[in-house]
Amino acid sequence: MALALALLAAAGWVNMPFTNREELRSIRWSMPENSTSLAGLGGGITFAISDDFCSLMVARFSENYLLRRVPNPLQFVSCEDINDSIKRAMNTWSDNSAFIKFVTTACDTSRSDRRKCTPELLISTSPRTSAIGERVAAFVLHQPEGGMYGRQPITTAGVVARDELEITQAELTFVLDVCWFMDPTFCSQFHLALVDFASTTTVVRMILLLSWIIAAVVFAFRVGKYLTAYAHGGWDGISVEMDRTEAKLWHSLFMIFFLITPPAFYFFVYLPCIECYDFESAMTHELGHVLGFAHPDEFPDVDRMALKPLSLRTCKLNGPADWLASKAVGYIADQDDDVLPSRPSDSADSVMYSLTTFRSRSCLTDNDLDGLNYLYPSCDKTVVRQPPSLCVKAQRNIGWLRLAATIAIPFVAAVASTIATSQLLNRRLRRRASSLRLQEAVVRTLAQRRIWDMERNERQLLSQNKLLKERRAASGASAVDSDAGTGLVMATRDFTQVELSQLLRT
């Protein structure tokens, strides 16, 4: 840094390029030779965003999809959200340095036409994995048009860095074959759990699978009872079973909830947080590459760490030779020099840590801030940002909204379909009951008419029998004939009773 430095394993920061271990030369953006020039850091790093960046990237956010190819009717991430996230990532660096600014130019109206506009930083997309064939989520190319690095850049302290290289152009590319998420606040809880317990995903899978299996068994048992009721009692049996089920409605609601929630939570909420990348964190990380920083965890033998803060004495001593010399002889602080408090030796929280899907870090650590002050120093202590870094982030609730929508929408749909099915069955059963009541009324009417006919016939037979008895008595006929007439009436009555019972059974 613009001060004494020390090499510590997996700590501090790494400047690019890191392949020349003997010279450890850095690359950086330069101040212009002419104070009126807007090149380099003179007017800020001009950037442009490719015309199709938003339309291509918005389709890659997990919040906008239920499945890989099934769009979510609730679009949680818009182009405006993406642009705001890019601005916040840029502010993460510019708010902590008086010399780093990202500005737009006429490139806004001709972003992709380099003949009309040549931005110093172009943000674009690509289906490629990386420039060298590695599978990454995003990557940065310095001098993307094949130009050579500049020589002897002028540092922000006004010193010519004779052994270093100057960045004049960069291209930041996001890969389209990976997925992204916009709400790190929500997903960071899962990331922290994975850091503390590597088998978190396995435990989550077991809990969700067990819950779903129990609900599925209860559902299968319920369906089996309906089928059994239909087999034994037809629709009447189903009607009885439905009456019993409606008495335990909360059982059905719990069953539906645990049938829907485990797969919905795992596939639409948990996996996107684990398998996808935090867009704002990735943007902040890649902008660090744009400025000239590398991965501290991948090159621990060239990590740098500040031992002293910036001062008038140290602000111009940030060349590699001065840094190596001070390290070789063992820098001894003067009595008037301040001494930095010890920094964490672990670089895992650095925004420049190797980007993985388990990272949601978009604020500069103390080591990141030291590296920024080293690469772009200031001799004016009033404009030097001291730790902690300034970090302004938007509090988003996309994750919780997505969780609520992911569970609530299918749950409500399932409950609605269950209620609709129940209503259809009830309607069918009511129609059947109404039909049976109508048939019963018709049968009762016919039976009543038959009874009336029977009574009328009985009266006629009795009258005829009485008349027959009188005639027989007058003519001296025996009582046997009278009994025969009575037996005929009784036989007729028995016949009509049998006929009536058969009619009622139909």
CB atoms within 10 A of CB 472: 16
Where helices occur in 247-278 by DSSP H, the ranges are: 249-265, 271-275
CA angle 459, 464, 470 (to 5 degrees): 130
Do the Cβ atoms of 180 and 89 come closer than 8 Å? Answer: no
Do the Cβ atoms of 185 and 398 come closer than 8 Å? Answer: no
pLDDT number for residue 321: 35
Kindly report, residue by residue over 201-222, the tens digit of the pLDDT.
788 889 989 999 998 898 888 7
pLDDT number for residue 10: 35
User: How many angstroms separate the CA atoms of 29 and 143, rounded?
Assistant: 12
Distance of CA 78 to the CA centre of its chain: 15
The tokens for 162 are 């004779």
Q: Name the nearest CA neighbour of 504 among 437, 436, 440.
A: 440
**Model confidence band, residue 89 (pLDDT cutoffs 50, 70, 90):** very high
> Counting every residue, how long is the chain?
506
Kindly report, residue by residue over 442-472, the tens digit of the pLDDT.
777 777 877 887 878 878 888 877 788 777 7
Average pLDDT, the chain: 73
Q: What angle, rounded to 10 degrees, do the helices at 184-196 and 200-246 form?
A: 120
Do the Cβ atoms of 332 and 43 come closer than 8 Å? Answer: no
Is the predicted pLDDT of residue 301 greater than 50, yes or no?
A: yes
Give the three-state DSSP class for 444: helix
Distance of CA 392 to the CA centre of its chain: 23
The pTM of this model reads: 0.70
Sheet holding 27-29, edge to edge: 27-29, 165-167, 150-151
User: How many angstroms separate the CA atoms of 366 and 254, rounded?
Assistant: 49
pLDDT number for residue 87: 94
| Average pLDDT score over residue span 336-353 | 58
Mean pLDDT check: name the lowest of 145-149, 366-370, 481-485.
481-485
- Residues linked to residue 47 through DSSP beta bridges, in sequence order: 121
Is the predicted pLDDT of residue 90 greater than 90, yes or no?
A: yes
CB atoms within 10 A of CB 297: 18
pLDDT number for residue 277: 87
**Model confidence band, residue 7 (pLDDT cutoffs 50, 70, 90):** very low
Percent of the chain with pLDDT over 90: 11
Name the more confident of 387 and 58. Answer: 58
Q: Parse the chain into domains and list their residue ranges.
A: 5-179+278-387, 188-271, 440-505
| Average pLDDT score over residue span 232-253 | 63
Do the Cβ atoms of 138 and 173 come closer than 8 Å? Answer: yes
Residues with Cβ within 8 Å of 107's Cβ and at least 6 positions away in sequence, in order, are 46, 47, 48, 117, 119
Kindly report, residue by residue over 27-78, the tens digit of the pLDDT.
899 998 887 788 888 888 999 999 899 989 988 887 776 655 556 666 778 8
pLDDT number for residue 64: 73
Is the predicted pLDDT of residue 341 greater than 70, yes or no?
A: no
pLDDT number for residue 236: 60
| Average pLDDT score over residue span 324-348 | 43
CB atoms within 10 A of CB 237: 17
Mean pLDDT check: name the lowest of 86-100, 107-121, 417-431.
107-121
| Average pLDDT score over residue span 12-31 | 66
Q: What letter represents residue 324's amino acid?
A: L
Architecture of the 5-179+278-387 domain: 3-Layer(aba) Sandwich (3.40)
| Average pLDDT score over residue span 403-407 | 79
Name the more confident of 273 and 5. Answer: 273
Q: Name the nearest CA neighbour of 365 among 382, 353, 380.
A: 353
Do the Cβ atoms of 357 and 281 come closer than 8 Å? Answer: no
User: How many angstroms separate the CA atoms of 204 and 215, rounded?
Assistant: 17
Q: CA-based diameter of the chain, in Å?
A: 162
Give the three-state DSSP class for 15: strand
Percent of the chain with pLDDT over 70: 65
The tokens for 348 are 């895992």
User: How many angstroms separate the CA atoms of 347 and 38, rounded?
Assistant: 35
Kindly report, residue by residue over 359-371, the tens digit of the pLDDT.
667 788 888 888 8
| Average pLDDT score over residue span 70-91 | 83
- HEC profile of 235-251: HHHHHHHHHHHHCCHHH
User: How many angstroms separate the CA atoms of 180 and 203, rounded?
Assistant: 24
The CA distances from residue 445 to 146, 332, 390, 448, 494, in Å, are 102, 118, 92, 5, 20
Neighbouring C-alpha atoms within 13 Å toward the C-beta of 88: 19
DSSP sequence for 342-377:
PPPS--TTSTTSPP-TT----S--HHHHHHHHHHS-
